[in-house]
């Protein structure tokens, strides 16, 4: 007569107690005891996915007949349309900022910088990246959509490699947006990032003449050039870039932003070449 097989015990990922019938979280995919089975009870690292699904269900309604797309976003009540940061998002923003800052130091170091110019260029570079992403977040949340910044594994790895190698790919994460929106709202959300970079570039180029012969001149110039390039790069109308959404929404606005970014990039890099 075959012997009865003893049940296999699995440790709860939250408290460590062994259970024979564990619950598997659909979001982080770890196993938990009955007490910690819910995402909110085990501080699920993927809670943003739970919120995203709830947000999508809450704000999606059918479009009226004759519309170009099948669904659109219904605005949430005005009191909820504000910039909100979760604990997880703040942690991801810190990680993303540190990675971008480290990559910025490695990029600018050795370009005959003074220490003050190196610091200024790195800060302006990191600021351009973070404010670009936060612009997407602000506009999306103002439309009542769920939007939070998240780092991703591939982006983190490539950015980390950029710190120690000549190859530079600096994009540790991006703003994740959930909820259905029409083409216009997606386009406005997308265009917000490059506009922020262009605004930073114009502001830096405006104050540049009064900084001539100062230690931070070249740092500010590099900051302007990098922000102009970030705007240009992100307006490429292809794949995951902001430009694809803007182009699909309004080709005239896309062309205006693209041309401005191109001209500012050429101008800023010409100044660098003359330095």
pLDDT, residue 69, reads: 31
Beta bridge partners of 60: 73
Residue predicted with more confidence, 111 or 89:
89
Nearest to 232 by CA among 193, 184, 186, 206: 193
| Per-residue confidence (pLDDT) for residue 54, from 0 to 100 | 52
At 82 the pLDDT is 63
- CA 113/CA 109 separation, integer angstroms: 7
pLDDT value of position 53: 53
Question: Does the predicted TM-score (pTM) go above 0.75?
Answer: no
74 has pLDDT over 50: no
Residue tagged 């190196």 (tokens)? 118
Placement of tokens 């992100």 in the chain: 234
Q: What are the domain boundaries of the chain?
A: 10-41, 47-274
Residue range 112-130, pLDDT digits in tens:
678 899 999 999 999 999 9
Instruction: Say which range, 85-99, 133-147, 154-168, 234-248, has the weakest mean pLDDT.
Output: 154-168
Q: Which residues contact 172 (CB under 8 A, 6 or more apart)?
A: 95, 96, 99, 100, 151, 152, 155, 156, 159
Residues in CB range of 154: below 8 A, 6 or more apart: none
Instruction: Please give the Cα distance from 136 to 219 (Å, whole number).
Output: 26
* Chain mean pLDDT for the chain: 82
Could you report the per-residue pLDDT of 6-19, keeping only the tens digit for each? Answer: 556 788 888 888 88
């Amino acid at each position: 007569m075959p012997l009865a097989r003893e049940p296999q015990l699995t440790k709860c990922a939250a408290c460590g107690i062994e259970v024979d019938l564990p619950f598997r979280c659909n979001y982080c995919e770890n196993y938990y005891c009955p007490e910690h089975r819910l995402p909110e009870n085990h501080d699920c690292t993927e809670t943003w996915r739970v919120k995203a699904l709830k947000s999508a269900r809450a704000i999606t309604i059918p479009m009226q007949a004759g519309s170009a797309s099948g669904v659109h976003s219904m605005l949430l009540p005005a009191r909820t349309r504000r910039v909100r940061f979760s604990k997880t998002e703040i942690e991801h923003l810190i990680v993303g900022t540190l990675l971008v800052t480290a990559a910025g130091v490695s990029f600018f170091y050795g370009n005959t910088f003074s220490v003050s110019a190196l610091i200024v260029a790195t800060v302006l570079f990191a600021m351009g990246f973070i404010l670009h992403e936060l612009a997407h977040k602000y506009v999306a949340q103002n439309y009542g959509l769920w939007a939070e910044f998240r780092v991703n594994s591939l982006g983190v790895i490539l950015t980390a490699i950029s710190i120690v190698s000549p190859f530079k790919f600096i994009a540790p994460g991006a703003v994740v947006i959930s909820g259905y929106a029409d083409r216009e709202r997606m386009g406005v959300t997308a265009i917000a990032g490059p506009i922020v970079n262009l605004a930073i570039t114009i502001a830096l180029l405006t104050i540049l003449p009064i900084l001539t012969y100062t230690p931070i001149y070249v740092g500010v110039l590099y900051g302007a050039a990098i922000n102009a390039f970030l705007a240009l790069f992100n307006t490429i109308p292809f794949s995951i870039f902001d430009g694809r959404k803007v182009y699909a929404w309004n080709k005239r606005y896309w062309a205006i932003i693209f041309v401005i970014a191109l001209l500012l990039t050429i101008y800023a890099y010409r100044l660098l070449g003359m330095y």
